[in-house]
Amino acid sequence: MSKKICVIGLGYIGLPTAVMFANHGIQVHGVDINENAVKMIQNKQLHIEEPGLQERLNSAIDSGKFTVSTTPEEADVFIIAVPSPINEDKTANLDYVRDATKSIVPYVRKGNLVVLESTVPPRTVEDVMLPILKETNLEIGTELFVSHSPERVIPGRIFEELTNNDRIVGGINEESSRLTAELYKTFVKGTIHITDATTAELVKVIENTYRDVNIAFANELAKISEKIGVNVWEAIRLANFHPRVNIHLPGPGVGGHCIAVDPWFLVELQPELAKIISLARHTNDSMPEYTALKIKQILENENIYHGRVAVFGLAFKGNVDDMRESPSLEVIHHLEKLGFDYTAYDPHIKENKVERQTQQIEEAVAHADIIAILTDHNEFKTMNPEKIASLVRTKIILDTKNCIDRNEWEKHGFQVFLLGDGKNTLK
Ligand code: SAJ
């Protein structure tokens, strides 16, 4: 087992991974360029929300196994878990991966292992990282070992998945893979599958692309269902009883830093070939505008023009506090373009991040003509329609995630609309 690990990047993946190793008795040094995040972590405060993280951070720091700063330290293993976003033009932005790799060069010693966990376009380890690591003057593959072991955990269930998911390990050679597999055996209970670095990079990207294409299919079905008078949620539920069918669910768009981003890596590599992938991205990106137009249509049918929309949910998905690439922001953008007044409410986003956000649900629904649920937070599933009914101006609710009890809301006088429910729209 390794003696010391240095984790570069203490975000949604790096921090849970670091505390996981520390709580398994390994000395871990965590590094982040965000000084505020470093200070918070040193004081056992979280800069991200994740179930189970607080307790684990407390014990990692209390045990003395986890230290944090803004600069790397010498270690046996370096794990890089930094963002790999896309630029405005949808091309991969590998600046963080490059900078993180450069930052460890002065600290890397003979016999060390460097593991990239960030999701990256295939060939990044070979073409971007290795040239930088050669600056250590160590011979790659015999004196310095390198691999890609992509993180595959889902926010909200990170610890369960870190432990139980299978893990892909792609070394630049056999010894790199062997050392990496041994490292993750510290806490991984799933199977560790060994391959080469570039295949591992592709595996990770196609997992997320599969999901994006499947969601785009569901969104297309939602649009079709609205035209032909069918409830798509019911249709998908029934289709999925087939043993070989697993259709995902529609919604107001695809957010997060992974699924809405990674497919573009393949489009950039092979634009002529990645046709379905590109179309799926555009389909999913069309959903926020579609949702805003649906709101407009619902209100105009009630002769309400430019009314007030209470946007419920700013996080990119339920029960997380992460707003990266959130479709809600796009929906708001389109509502503004269409001339709507809006308020925004999200019990998981504790500091106001958009202009008309409020922390009070009462304020959010005051004088609202429609409540638009864009994120399936538990708090929204269990809202009390009776209380809300007394506060709104017009009793209309649009559920884009099929997450509220329609009958309950109807009982309290609400007209309930559901994205992808043609029965309801054609009524
Ligand atoms: N969404 C739908 N319909 C669905 C499922 C999701 O519209 O049926 C939307 C969500 O609302 C959200 C977005 O897609 O806006 C992405 O959410 P998600 O829960 O599908 O995925 P992420 O981005 O939180 O995490 C994904 C996971 N990848 C896969 O499941 C293949 C996770 O395992 C990865 O580790 C993560 O990306 C990552 O970091 O790459």
pLDDT value at residue 424: 76
Written as tens digits, the pLDDT of the chain (427 aa) is 558 999 999 999 999 999 999 999 999 999 999 999 999 999 999 998 899 999 999 999 999 999 999 999 999 999 999 999 999 999 999 999 999 999 999 999 999 999 999 999 999 999 999 999 999 999 999 999 999 999 999 988 999 999 999 999 999 999 999 999 999 999 999 999 999 999 999 999 999 999 999 999 999 999 999 999 999 999 999 999 999 999 999 999 999 989 999 999 999 999 999 999 999 999 999 999 999 999 999 999 999 998 999 999 999 999 988 999 999 999 999 999 999 999 999 999 999 999 999 999 999 999 999 999 999 999 999 999 999 999 999 999 999 999 999 999 999 999 999 999 998 765 4
Does 322 sit in the ligand 1 pocket, CB within 6 Å? no
Q: Order of strands, edge to edge, in the sheet holding 27-31?
A: 66-69, 27-31, 4-8, 77-80, 113-116, 145-148, 167-171, 192-196
Residue written as token pair 């179309």: 279
Q: Of 204, 294, 296, 401, which is the active-site residue? A: 204
| CB proximity list for 363: less than 8 A, separation 6 or greater | 343
What's the 182 CA to ligand 1 centre distance in angstroms? 28
Q: Which two tokens stand for residue 211?
A: 């999901």
Instruction: Specify which residues 170 forms β-bridges with.
Output: 148, 195
Does 374 sit in the ligand 1 pocket, CB within 6 Å? no
Q: Whose CA is nearest to atom 38 of ligand 1?
A: 258
The b/e string for 37-69 (b: 16+ C-beta within 10 A; e otherwise) is: bbebbeeeeeebbbeebeebbeebbeeebbbbe
Residue 333, judged by CB atoms within 10 A of its CB (0-12, 13-18, 19+), counts as: middle
Does 317 sit in the ligand 1 pocket, CB within 6 Å? yes
**Residues 207, 392: Cα–Cα separation, whole Å:** 42
Q: Which is nearest to 395 in space by CA: 318, 313, 304?
A: 304
Q: Which two tokens stand for residue 87?
A: 């630029």
**Residues 100, 86: Cα–Cα separation, whole Å:** 17
DSSP H or E segment with residue 417: strand 415-418
Mark whether 258 is an active-site residue.
Answer: yes
Which residue spans within 54-181 are E strands per DSSP?
66-69, 77-80, 113-116, 145-148, 167-171
Q: Which two tokens stand for residue 229?
A: 């008078």
Residue 202, judged by CB atoms within 10 A of its CB (0-12, 13-18, 19+), counts as: buried
Q: Which two tokens stand for residue 342?
A: 């809006």
| CB proximity list for 83: less than 8 A, separation 6 or greater | 9, 11, 96, 118, 257
Does 314 sit in the ligand 1 pocket, CB within 6 Å? no
**Which ligand 1 atom is the nearest neighbour of the CA of 284?**
7
Residue 391, judged by CB atoms within 10 A of its CB (0-12, 13-18, 19+), counts as: middle
pLDDT value at residue 30: 98
CA–CA distances in Å: residue 214 to residues 39, 94, 230, 249: 41, 27, 19, 8
pLDDT value at residue 21: 98
**Which ligand 1 atom is the nearest neighbour of the CA of 165?**
33
Residue written as token pair 């269409």: 338
Does 254 sit in the ligand 1 pocket, CB within 6 Å? yes
What's the 6 CA to ligand 1 centre distance in angstroms? 28
pLDDT value at residue 425: 65
Is the Cβ–Cβ distance between 97 and 129 less than 8 Å? yes
**Residues 60, 185: Cα–Cα separation, whole Å:** 19
Is the Cβ–Cβ distance between 153 and 13 less than 8 Å? yes
